[in-house]
Structure 1
Amino acid sequence: MSEENIDLSSQVGKNLREIRKSKRISIEELASVSDISKLTLGKIERGEANPTLNILWKVARGLNIPLASLVDFQEESEIYRFETNHYFAGQHNDWFITPVCKAFGSVEWHRACIEPNSEYSEYHLAGSEEIVLVLNGQLEMEVGGKNHQLNKWDVLRFKGEELHTYRNCSDERVYLMLSLTYATP
Structure 2
Amino acid sequence: MRRCCEAERDGSESVHVIAAFRLLILTGCRLREIQTLRWDYITDTGMELPDTKTGARRIPLPAAARAALSALPRTLGNPYVIEGKLDGSHITDLQHPWRRLRARAGLDDVRIHDLRHTYASNAVSSGMPIQMVGRLLGHSQIQTTMRYAHLADDPVKRAAEENAARLSGMINAPAPARERPELRIIR
Normalised by the length of structure 2, the TM-score is: 0.28
Q: Rg larger in 1 or in 2? A: 2
Higher helix fraction (1 or 2): 2
Normalised by the length of structure 1, the TM-score is: 0.28
Higher strand fraction (1 or 2): 1
